[in-house]
Amino acid sequence: MSAEPREPDDVLDALARAFRELPAPAPARELAAEDEATRRAVAWMAAAFRAQSPASSAPPAEILARTARPTPRRTWRPLAAAAAVLVLLGGALVLAEHVLQPRVATRPDAPVAQAPDIEIPAPAITPAAPDITPPASSPSGIVAAAEDHLELRSGPVRMLLFLKPPSNPENPR
């Protein structure tokens, strides 16, 4: 979309006028035959539609041309000033570092420290034989029994069953 204003579109204006002049279609059913909730909803919708007014009476082409115009912006001047200040401060910092604190030059024949070679022997790792002895077998069966629970064991597994107490103590199941 260009920033230039557009000419009014005569074809679209004529189409909009012709559409507004069309008669409203006849309803499929009469509103009086509908229930009360439907009549209230239709009345509310019709009032809301009548209350709406177009935002502008200008043709759509003129509305689009107005919104497409760029507004003049002068934001580059503060940005340019900030950039200039940063460049000047950076230049002053570099100059101060090189002029005020010169680095000490190292001699080309300065000795370099050497570390002695150290041999670290690899540890002797021998894999341990896996323990394949079966666990001590424990007897399977009932470990404990009470009125409200029962404890069972099968090998290393223990199971605790909670029993529902009888509802009628006179007539137990």
Q: What is the pLDDT of residues 77-86, one digit of tens each?
A: 888 899 999 9
Separation between Cα atoms, residue 59 and residue 6, nearest integer Å = 11
Q: Of the segments 5-14, 38-47, 130-139, 148-157, which one has the largest average pLDDT value?
A: 38-47
For residues 8 and 23, the model is more confident at: 23
3-state per-residue secondary structure call for the chain: CCCCCCCCCHHHHHHHHHHHHCCCCCCCCCHHHCCHHHHHHHHHHHHHHHHCCCCCCCCHHHHHHHHHCCCCCCCHHHHHHHHHHHHHHHHHHHHHHHHHCCCCCCCCCCCCCCCCCCCCCCCCCCCCCCCCCCCCCCCCEEEEECCCEEEEEECCEEEEEECCCCCCCCCCC
Cα–Cα distance, 36 to 42 (Å, whole number): 10
Q: Which residue has the higher pLDDT, 120 or 130?
A: 120
What are the sequence ranges of the domains in the chain? 10-68, 139-166
Over residues 3-10, mean pLDDT: 62
Q: Average pLDDT of 124-148?
A: 74
pLDDT tens by residue, 30-48:
888 888 998 899 889 888 8
The Cα 61–Cα 5 span in angstroms is 8
What pTM did the predictor assign?
0.22
Output the average pLDDT for the chain.
Answer: 76
Residue 58, number of CB atoms within 10 A of its CB: 13
Average pLDDT over residues 148-173: 76
**Which residues, in sequence order, are bridge partners of residue 153?**
141, 158
- pLDDT given for residue 127 in this prediction: 77
Task: State residue 84's pLDDT score.
Answer: 94
Q: Which has more confidence, 67 or 139?
A: 139
Q: Taking residues 80-107, report their average pLDDT.
A: 82
Q: Are 140 and 154 in contact (CB under 8 A)?
A: yes
How confident is the model over 115-133, as a mean pLDDT?
80
Give the residue-averaged pLDDT of 155-169: 76
Rounded CA separation 154/139 (Å): 7
